[in-house]
Structure 1
Amino acid sequence: MNITYRKLTKDDLDTFIQMRINQLREEGAKEDIDLVPALRNYYERHMADGTFVSWLALDGDKIIGTSGMSFVEKPPYFGCPSGKMGLLSSMFTNPTYRRQGIAKELLDRVVTEARDYGCGTVQITASDMGVKLYTAYGFIHNGNFMQYKL
């Protein structure tokens, strides 16, 4: 097995979007809409303006792992004087390929992208399965994270 890594391109979007939906299903999402058009719109716009980047893991020409980093900017604060933050998403490895370091390699590549973009912090809402990976990498829990649904 020869795993290679490269950045996501527009030509990969059909597969990338399907893997994102598979990930959401695996995490127990309740589906009540067709999310494909909204995901395609998001990725096309944010890839074009440089505020979304993804690295892929491939076995031959088959995508077997995905990652995603969205760049957002908030008013600067002491913990993040640039105000730029990376929001990690789309971390998914095909079940057959898990526990081989692929997710860590993908994580490392998108964290580097966030650092290069000027982000002072990276955040994720982790799945139960992902918590070990992120904790081992150095992420820490922020117990004050709250969300208000509109």
Structure 2
Amino acid sequence: MRVRQATLADIPALVALRMALFVELGEALGGQEEALHQASVDYFSRAMAEGRLISWVAEDEEAAGGLLAVGSLTLFERPPYPGNLAGREAYLLNMYTRPAWRKWGLASQLLDAMTAYADQRGLGKLWLHASDTGRPIYERAGFVGHPGYLEREPG
């Protein structure tokens, strides 16, 4: 088992795992599967090339079926604020492990790689939205919940 940073060559597999994540979470794709798939390929291609998105993958060269798990960080900069004078942050997303490979510690290994990257780069904040099943993994890694978040849907 090996965890590594993804490359541009991994984009088809990254997007396939992202689409599987949406299906598993019960996200209503509303017949937009093809458009969402292509928009995701376009985004990953552009954002990875620009260094705004960094993904990590878990793979086993002896296992059939390609990548086993994935996790990504979207990097961005906000105005400085107390506790983060550089304003550098990352949003953790796209954490997904193929069902047959769950309970092998892959998500924890990916999370360790991503938090190490964030620490080495001096990112002042690393945040995410967690599913109920994923939440314990993040809490074990030191993430804590914050109730002050609001969201507005467009339209």
Which interval holds the TM-score relative to the shorter structure? over 0.9
Unaligned runs of 5+ in 2: none
Aligned to 1:17: 15
Structure 1 equivalent of residue 53 of structure 2: 52
Q: Distance in 2 between matches of 1:108 and 1:16?
A: 19
Cα RMSD after superposing both structures: 1.3
CA contact (8 A) 2:3 2:58 kept: yes
Count of aligned positions: 148
Distance 2:22 2:47 in 1: 20
Stretches of structure 1 lacking an aligned partner (at least 5 in a row): none
Query: Which residue does the alignment assign to 1:67?
Result: 71
User: For 1:78-117, what aligned pairs fall within 5 Å after superposition?
Assistant: 78-117=82-121
Amino acid across the alignment from 1:126:
A
Alignment check: 8 A CA contact 1:71 1:114 kept: no
Residue identity over aligned pairs, in percent, reads 29
Normalised TM-score (structure 2): 0.90
Q: Give the whole-Å Cα distance in 1 for the aligned partners of 2:48 and 2:109.
A: 21
Quote the offset at 1:127 in angstroms.
Answer: 0.9
> CA–CA distance in 2 between the matches of 1:36 and 1:100?
28
Q: CA deviation at 1:26?
A: 0.9
Once residues 122 and 29 of structure 1 are traced to their aligned partners in structure 2, the CA distance between those partners, rounded to angstroms, is: 24
Aligned equivalents of 1:66 and 1:86: distance in 2? Answer: 16
Partner residue in 2 for 1:121: 125
Please report the TM-score for the alignment, with normalisation by the length of structure 1. Answer: 0.93
Aligned partners of 1:118 and 1:41: how far apart in 2?
Answer: 28
Structure-2 residue corresponding to 1:30: 28
Structure 1 Cα separation of the partners of residues 39 and 132 of structure 2: 26
